[in-house]
Amino acid sequence: MLGTGIIKGMAETARNFFGSYADPERLVTVEYPEERLAPKENARNFPFLVYDGDNPMAGLRCVACQICEKECPPKCIYIVKDREKKPDFVGKPQFQPKVFDIDISVCMSCQICVEVCPFDAIKMDTEFELSRTDRFGGLLFDKHELARSNEHYQRIHPTEAAEIDARREAEVAKAEAKARADAEAKAGEKTGADAKAGGGAASPASGKKSTPPGKA
């Protein structure tokens, strides 16, 4: 009959009205600044640079390879390579960024920089309270503002971070084993090793020299 649906609907909303006072569980609102939802592991917002250890600039994983800069669709990353090298986590000397800027007013949070980074140096943050009074300079983050410790990364994305840490530890162990083996080999045959070691050192250097034109 005409009107029964209306009465049913009215009863439903009345139940909501009184129920919301009787049972606070019904209220789904999270009163944001005071209350917060538990962080979600797969959340992502804007990229940050990971560093190991205590010193952000010394421990920065980034080697200024500029892959992310090239891949970034809205071109919000700007990198200048430093002339000086610093040792990476396995002790190999690597380049480091002199300037690493991300304009997060341009960034579209696509995570492509993270996908392409071979060094696990850039990851996505979950920080979202980024409002600034200056919308141009304030939203252009340099490498000091972008640097976050590995502990931070482990906290926000525990699964991913554990996997990466395990891989890096394995690499460190492999490098150490190799160094040990090399040292033992060096100790074993001192005479013929000099020429071999010289050749071994020269070939990576020439390879490195040949890469920049190949890349360009």
15 or 215: CB nearest other proteins: 15
DSSP string, the chain: -TTHHHHHHHHHHHHHHHHHHH-GGG-----TTT--PPPPTT---SEEEEE-SS-TTTSB------HHHHH-TT--EEEEEEEEEEE-TTS-EEEEEEEEEEETTT-----HHHHH-TTS-EEE--------S-SSSTTEE-HHHHEEEHHHHHHHSHHHHHHHHHHHHHHHHHHHHHHHHHHHHHHH--TTHHHHHHHHHHHHHHHHHHHHHHH-
Site string for other proteins, 120-139 (x = CB under 8 A): --------------------
Give the interface segment with other proteins, choosing from 12-20, 38-46, 76-84, 140-148 (CB under 8 A). 12-20
By the rule CB under 8 A, 205 interacts with other proteins: no
3 or 214: CB nearest other proteins: 3
By the rule CB under 8 A, 13 interacts with other proteins: yes
Give the interface segment with other proteins, choosing from 7-15, 51-59, 89-97, 112-120 (CB under 8 A). 7-15
Task: Convert 142-165 into a string of H (helix), E (strand) and C (coil).
Answer: CHHHHEEEHHHHHHHCHHHHHHHH
9 or 93: CB nearest other proteins: 9
Which of residues 22, 31, 84, 195 is near other proteins by CB under 8 A?
31
Q: In angstroms, what is the minimal distance from the CB of 38 to other proteins?
A: 20
Q: How far apart are CA 23 and CA 26, in angstroms?
A: 6
By the rule CB under 8 A, 3 interacts with other proteins: yes
Q: In angstroms, what is the minimal distance from the CB of 36 to other proteins?
A: 16
Q: How many residues bind other proteins (CB under 8 A)?
A: 19
Give the interface segment with other proteins, choosing from 13-21, 53-61, 94-102, 170-178 (CB under 8 A). 13-21
Binding residues for other proteins, rule: CB under 8 A, are 1-3, 6, 9-10, 12-14, 16-17, 19-21, 26-29, 31
